[in-house]
Structure formats: structure tokens, C-alpha cells
């Protein structure tokens, strides 16, 4: 389970708004951190106090494993201290540094903040942290809440499927993953999940189709 995903979740939520940062975020989502960093460095010259620019820079820091820098960045910048996604990122950085109790406290605080409980990204991110700790049932509850709040969000559906699979509820997991595939037919992670689920449930022909898709679209040469 990858810690980075909580950050991806945050970005998905932000990406609903049209923003010149979109390209940098696309680079981050695709793992092109160098390109993202270059764009952000340029943006910071014209928008040095823009919290979105600052936040996205911290996402790059996080993805590069600079967890301490993330904490310092968020705690040191007032505009970010109240930013929900930044707080999620802070909780993830605390978790990555092994500061579990602080991470949990941060997330509890976030859920109680006005309006926060209605933010699907927060629930998705929280669920991913729980999944990393093997707390699958609790993680599922977070993913279900994310899906309830954002019924079209394929990534949330996919993670709901992952949690269901880990809980042994494979039929429900297949339903969630197939819904995610309908919402985002080009998301490789959804095809990977479906492949695992079809194999687990003995649907070998469907599994083979998923494997073929992945080999075509996400193989070593891609």
C-alpha cells in the first residue's frame, strides 16, 4: 500500500477547480516529479504566496520522501495551516515518520472541523492510512463515506474494492471495482484490482482480458 496515494486523493479533490496548477498536478500524478518541480519553481516567482502553489510543492516534497520538510512547510505557513488538504498531508507525513498518535489526532481534529466531514478526499486519505496499518474494516468505512460523498469518484470506488477484497468480501469488491472501471476506464490501478478479483473468484476469462489490457497499456515498454 503506498503512502503516496493519500496525496493523490488530495490532488483529485483540488483538480475539480480549473487552475494553472493542473499541469504540475498531472505531472505529479504521473510520477514526473522533476517536471512538476520545475513548473512549480516557475510559478512561485509570480505567485510566491499562493497557497495552492505552496501546497503542491509540498506534495512533491512528500512524494520524494521529505516528510520533515512537509511538516515544516505546513506548520510554517499560515495560509496552509487552515487548508484541509494540507492538513491531510501533514497527517500523512506524521504517519510516515512513525508518529502514529499525532497522525491519528490530526485526522480526528480534521474530521471535526466545520465542513470537513463532507470532504471525500479526507475520508479517502484517512482510509488509506488505516489500510496501511492493516485496519481494513475501519478503512472500508472511510472509503464508503468517500464514495457516498462523491459517487462518481472512481478512485474512491477502487479503494473501496481493495478494502472489501482484503476483508474477503470478493463479490462486493468486484462490484465496486467494476463501478470504478465504468467511471475511469483508463485507470490502470482499477484494471489491476479487477484482475486480482477475477482470479480470486475464478473468472479466468475476465481476468485474462484485464491482463491483456494491462500488458497493452501499462507494460514495461509503456
Partner 1 sequence: MRLILAACATVAMAQIRFEDVTPKSRIDFRLNNGAQGSLYQPELMPGGVAAFDFDNDGCMDLFFANGAGLPSLKKTGRGFHNRLYRGHCDFRFTDVTARSGLAGEGYSMAVAAADYDNDGFTDLFVAGVHRNFLYRNRGDGTFEDVSARAGIVTKDTQKDWSISAAWLDYDRDGRLDLFVSNYVHWDPAKEAPCGDPSHRIYCHPKSYAPQHHRLFRNQGDGTFADVSRDSGIAASPGKGMGVCVADAGNDGWPDVFVANDSVPGQLFNNKHGRFVEAGLEAGVAYPDSGKAIAGMGCGFRDIDGDGRPDVLVTGMVNDSYLLFRNLGRDLLFEDFTARAGLARSTVHLTGWSAGLFDFDNDGFLDLFTANSHFPRLERQMGMDPRLANSVFRGSSGDRFIDVSAAAGDLLAKRAFFRGTAFADFDRDGLLDAVVTALGDRPLILRNVSASAYHWIALALTGKASNRQGLGSRVSAVLPGGTVLHGYLTTSVGYASSSEPLLRFGLGPHSRVASIEIQWPGGANQKLTNLGADQVVAVTEP
209 binds partner 1 (CB under 8 A): no
Q: Which of 17, 18, 78, 220 binds partner 1 (CB under 8 A)?
A: 220
Is residue 117 within 8 A of residue 84, CB to CB? The reply is no
Q: Which of 20, 65, 151, 185 binds partner 1 (CB under 8 A)?
A: 65
Alpha-carbon span 14 to 55, nearest angstrom: 11
Distance from the Cα of residue 21 to its chain's centroid: 17
Q: Which stretch binds partner 1 (CB under 8 A): 13-21, 46-54, 114-122, 191-199?
A: 191-199
Element (H, E) at 95: helix 84-96
Q: Which of 86, 146, 162, 184 binds partner 1 (CB under 8 A)?
A: 162
- Torsion angles phi and psi, residue 13, rounded to 5: -65, -40
Nearer to partner 1, 114 or 219 (CB): 219
150 binds partner 1 (CB under 8 A): no
Length of the chain: 222
Which residues are CB-contacts of 155 (< 8 A; sequence separation ≥ 6)?
A: 8, 9, 12, 124, 180, 184, 187
Residues making contact with partner 1 (CB under 8 A): 1-5, 33-34, 37-38, 61, 63-69, 95-98, 101, 131-134, 158, 162, 165-166, 187-193, 195-196, 199-200, 207-208, 210-211, 214-215, 218-222
Amino acid at each position: 500500500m503506498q503512502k503516496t496515494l493519500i496525496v493523490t486523493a488530495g490532488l483529485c479533490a483540488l483538480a475539480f477547480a480549473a487552475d494553472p496548477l493542473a499541469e504540475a498536478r498531472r505531472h505529479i500524478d504521473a510520477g514526473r516529479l522533476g517536471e512538476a518541480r520545475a513548473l512549480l519553481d516557475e510559478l512561485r516567482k509570480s505567485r510566491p504566496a499562493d497557497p495552492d502553489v505552496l501546497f503542491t510543492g509540498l506534495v512533491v516534497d512528500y512524494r520524494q520522501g521529505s516528510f520533515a520538510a512537509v511538516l515544516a512547510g505546513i506548520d510554517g505557513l499560515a495560509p496552509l495551516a487552515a487548508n484541509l488538504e494540507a492538513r491531510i498531508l501533514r497527517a500523512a507525513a506524521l504517519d510516515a515518520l512513525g508518529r502514529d498518535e499525532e497522525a491519528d489526532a490530526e485526522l480526528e481534529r480534521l474530521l471535526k472541523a466545520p465542513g470537513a466531514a463532507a470532504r471525500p478526499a479526507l475520508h479517502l486519505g484517512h482510509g488509506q492510512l488505516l489500510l496501511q496499518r492493516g485496519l481494513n474494516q475501519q478503512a472500508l468505512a472511510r472509503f464508503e463515506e468517500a464514495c457516498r460523498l462523491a459517487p462518481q469518484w472512481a478512485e474512491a470506488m477502487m479503494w473501496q474494492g481493495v478494502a472489501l477484497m482484503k476483508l474477503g468480501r470478493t463479490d462486493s469488491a468486484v462490484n465496486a471495482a467494476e463501478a470504478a472501471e465504468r467511471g475511469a476506464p483508463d485507470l490502470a490501478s482499477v484494471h489491476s484490482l479487477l484482475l486480482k478479483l477475477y482470479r480470486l473468484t475464478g473468472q479466468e476469462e475476465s481476468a485474462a482480458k484485464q491482463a491483456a489490457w494491462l500488458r497493452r497499456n501499462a507494460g514495461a515498454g509503456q
